[in-house]
Amino acid sequence: MANSTVGVIFSNIHDHNIPELSRHRTMASIPYGGRYRLIDFALSNMVNAGITTVGIVTKNNYQSLIDHLGSGKDWDLARKDGGIILLPPFSDETDAPYNNRLEALKGITGFLTHRKEDYVLISDCDGVAHMDIGDIVRYHVEKHADITMVYHEEPDVDSSYYMTFAPDETGRIRGLKINGNVTEGKYNCYINVMVINREFLLDIIQDAVARGLTSFGRDILVKSVDTLKLYAYRFDGYYAGINSLQKYYKHSMELLDRKVRAELFGARDIYTKIRDSAPSKYNDDAVVKNSLVSDGCIIEGTVENCILFRGVKVGKGSVIRNSIIMQDTVIETGVTLDCVITDKNVVIRDRRHLAGCAELPYFIAKGRML
Amino acid sequence: MQRKKECVAMLLAGGQGSRLYALTNNIAKPAVAFGAKYRIIDFPLSNCINSGIDTVGVLTQYMPLELNEYIGNGQPWDLDRSFGGVHILSPYQAKSRSSWFEGTANAIYQNMNFMKKYNPDYVLILSGDHIYKMDYSDMLRRHIETKADCTIAAIEVPLKEASRFGILNTNPDGSIYQFEEKPKQPKSTLASMGIYIFTAEKLFKYLEEDDADPNSSKDFGKNVLPAMLNAGERMFSYKFSGYWKDVGTIASLWESNMDLLGEEPAFDVGDADWKIHSRNPLAPPEYIGDSACVTNSMIALGCEIEGTVKNSVLASNVVVEEGATVIDSVIMAGTVVKKGAVVSCAIIDEDCVIEENARVGGEKTDDISIAVLGKKVTIGAGATVEAGKILDKDYKGE
């Protein structure tokens, strides 16, 4: 089944959700979980399902993504046939790069036309989950669906971010709405992972271009909900939807829960770029509690309820709590941090005290020195 | 145009490493784990690529499967090349004769065709059981400058240990006038590190002569080097002053791991200018729990620590449960230390299980004796493995 599926990942489409972290990079390359980027979860799900060709749709600021992916070898996707295929913005002479998903899809029709797989698995990079993609494709085939959309139950406060629907007893999607809910309750939210027949997708794109449609959701999915065979696949596992800095912080901290880690990392491998960092060192004065620590760290201070990315240094007498400290950040001596997110390569000089709160973590941009 | 490589490295990785006992039951010594995420062979391989040498023959013989798999196509060291790169060289069946590698010189001799394919000017001979960072390109520069036929890397050792090594007696200009293999009364403390650069044509000549000599034991230190010296070839020492450790014994392997610890470690693997490359485990960041206490230690990815870890080196995916203690020890990947268990002054190989309240190893003393558990050994609940004991089978206690 997997051999008949080609992956497509949209790396940019939710960039505006977390402007803090995506100012210099794509959504796909936002660091997550100590040593990963968001795209690693989507890519690993595909690789673990045996998918060997993944097209990555990019728009802008994708230098960090190219750097991260390299040849694709760290995901076993450096292949003669297929592998990782970067799909940079494509535009006719008159057009600017794409503005929406439909235009983006139009830009990759060449890629889609030349593939031989029957199905396309389309995924965005705004979610962290361990998903059995083989099972989703099987479901799609069994239902003879045109499109299968994966959903997860989310509380009302989040559901306005998503498309929501109410599948009938056969799994057929009914009542598809976009950003609609204000009343309390739980909603079936489309989490931006779908399976679609490749030929059918090409037809839709051609038709949409001919008719000047602009929105894949509004103009195609919502309008054709009763004529197309749209099916819903329920995902019940752990799902972290990353649609704001607050959500990024909240879900990151959930990784300190053993059960969440077991589900995300336990049953399979999550692939990521190899950096050949040395193992982390804990010195005599180190006090580390309830924290995730990546390789290359040197810890001489106190670290509680934190996620430390690769190559972080925590100096003597510094106390870091409830914080996410990204790659190569240097925290000198006598610093206290509470509810802080530092982007990469931040330097916090001696005896600085910084604090945010869980609802509004204090964010320090890439490369800043305080 | 005939393509060539200026320098080809030949890495002797066939040794059994019998003095590592249970740790080398099923793997060659160069494949033994070191420093939480490395294997011994990562050091010479990383030194090669960092020195600009991209053609390496790895000579294997004893238990090569895991080593072969680990090296693979050489990609982790950037040694997957279309011309050059890393190649596993195992004993083979030839038309006229077929034999195992007998001695270090014979191993190189049997792979003459591999070296000649690259038409090298120089050949670097390395061994796969040393922990060190060394710029071979500087040694090669010296070799060329002195117009030497053979250059031997050498390090000062304490006088009382000198009789364990091949000792070089040199003139003030570094030229060697005498070579003594493991002398009882050493005249100097300059020890050979087992790292040689030969001018290729000289090496080939002397290897052929050595092979023709029925009385030779086909060893570099015992036969080839003395033969060259007797024939009046230009032989120079290259003095090395950095960290270098032969990890051929349990005690030295343990010490070398301990040398990674501390604020100013004797040996720093985190040097960004001389990265040690390795095949990386796929594992999430390590988790240090609420009840954990981790000090003066090195911890690799994927560990789950709820107990106490002190002065220790833990490889990937090691679990130390609440109330368990690991102190002054080296623990390899995937081992589980359960509640209330104590591991002290020990080297524990991969995938062992130390059941609840078991005890492995003794107190740290001046005359330290390291306990060793081989791969996949289970120590039963409450059982005691005494200091210095070496086990390669499950043990339930008395």
DSSP states along B32-55: SEETTTEETTHHHHHHHHHTT--E
Question: Mind listing the domains of chain A with CATH numbers?
Answer: 5-265 (3.90.550.10), 281-364 (2.160.10.10)
Do A265 and B297 lie within an 8 Å CB cutoff? no
Query: What is this model's ipTM?
Result: 0.92
String of DSSP letters for B372-397: EE-TT-EE-TT-EE-TT-EE-S-B--
Q: Which of B288, B294, B296 to mutate to test the interface with A (most CBs of A within 10 A)?
A: B288
In this predicted structure, the answer to whether residue A171 has a pLDDT above a threshold of 70 is: yes
In angstroms, the CA B63 to CA B14 distance is 8
Helix (H, G, I), strand (E, B) or coil at A69: helix
Contacts of B286 in chain A (CB under 8 A): 280, 292-294
Segment holding A141, helix H or strand E = helix A133-142
Query: Rounded to 5 degrees, what are φ and ψ at B223?
Result: -120, -55
The predicted structure's pLDDT at residue A95: 60
Q: What is the pTM of this model?
A: 0.93
Question: In this predicted model, what pLDDT tens digit does every residue of B200-226 receive, in sequence order?
Answer: 999 999 999 999 999 999 999 999 999
In angstroms, the CA A277 to CA A107 distance is 38
Residue from the list A35, A283, A300 with its beta carbon closest to the beta carbon of B285 = A35
Contacts of B35 in chain A (CB under 8 A): 278-279
Query: Rounded to 5 degrees, what are φ and ψ at A269?
Result: -95, 140
Do B263 and A283 lie within an 8 Å CB cutoff? yes
Per-residue buried b or exposed e for B224-263, using 16+ beta carbons within 10 Å of the residue's own CB = bbbbbbeeebbbbbbebeebbbbbbebebbbebbbbbbee
In this predicted structure, the answer to whether residue A181 has a pLDDT above a threshold of 80 is: no
Q: How does the average pLDDT of chain B come out, rounded?
A: 95
In this predicted structure, the answer to whether residue B285 has a pLDDT above a threshold of 80 is: yes
Chain B residue closest in CA terms to A267:
B283
Torsion of CA B54, B58, B64, B66, to 10 degrees: -20
Q: What percent of chain A has pLDDT over 90?
A: 76
* Length reported for chain A: 370
pLDDT grade, residue A74 (50/70/90)? Answer: very high
Q: What percent of chain B has pLDDT over 90?
A: 90
In this predicted structure, the answer to whether residue A2 has a pLDDT above a threshold of 60 is: no
Chain B residue closest in CA terms to A278:
B270
Tell the burial category of B319 from Cβ atoms under 10 Å away from its Cβ (0-12, 13-18, 19+).
Answer: buried
Contacts of B308 in chain A (CB under 8 A): none
Contact by Cβ (8 Å): A171, A68:
no
Contacts of A290 in chain B (CB under 8 A): 288-290
Do A261 and B283 lie within an 8 Å CB cutoff? no
Do B285 and A271 lie within an 8 Å CB cutoff? no
Q: Chain A residues contacting B, CB < 8 Å?
A: 33-35, 73, 256, 258, 261, 264-265, 269-271, 274, 276-296, 298, 300, 303, 307-308
Residue from the list A73, A261, A279 with its beta carbon closest to the beta carbon of B284 = A261
Do A279 and B292 lie within an 8 Å CB cutoff? no
Q: How close does chain A come to B66, measured CA to CA in Å?
A: 20
The predicted structure's pLDDT at residue A130: 96
Do B288 and A288 lie within an 8 Å CB cutoff? yes
Q: How many CB atoms within 10 Å of residue B386?
A: 11
In angstroms, the CA A349 to CA A336 distance is 11
Contacts of B263 in chain A (CB under 8 A): 283-284, 300
pLDDT grade, residue A91 (50/70/90)? Answer: low
Question: In this predicted model, what pLDDT tens digit does every residue of B340-381 receive, in sequence order?
Answer: 999 999 999 999 999 999 999 999 988 889 999 999 999 999
Q: How many CB atoms within 10 Å of residue B213?
A: 12
Do A293 and B299 lie within an 8 Å CB cutoff? yes
In angstroms, the CA A198 to CA A200 distance is 5
Residue from the list A265, A287, A303 with its beta carbon closest to the beta carbon of B284 = A265
Amino acid at B52: G
Per-residue buried b or exposed e for A270-281, using 16+ beta carbons within 10 Å of the residue's own CB = bbbebebbbbbb
Q: Which of A281, A289, A307, A310 to mutate to test the interface with B (most CBs of B within 10 A)?
A: A281
- Per the model's pLDDT, the better-predicted residue between B5 and A268 turns out to be B5
Chain A residue closest in CA terms to B262:
A283
pLDDT grade, residue B382 (50/70/90)? Answer: very high
In angstroms, the CA A114 to CA B245 distance is 56
CA A246 centroid distance within chain: 15
- Tell me whether strands B286-288 and A291-293 are parallel, antiparallel or unpaired: antiparallel
Contact by Cβ (8 Å): B303, B287:
yes
Do B296 and A256 lie within an 8 Å CB cutoff? no
Mean pLDDT for the stretch of residues A167-187? 84
Contacts of B304 in chain A (CB under 8 A): 258
Q: How close does chain B come to A33, measured CA to CA in Å?
A: 8
- Per the model's pLDDT, the better-predicted residue between A316 and A156 turns out to be A316
Q: What percent of chain A has pLDDT over 70?
A: 96
Do A293 and B285 lie within an 8 Å CB cutoff? yes
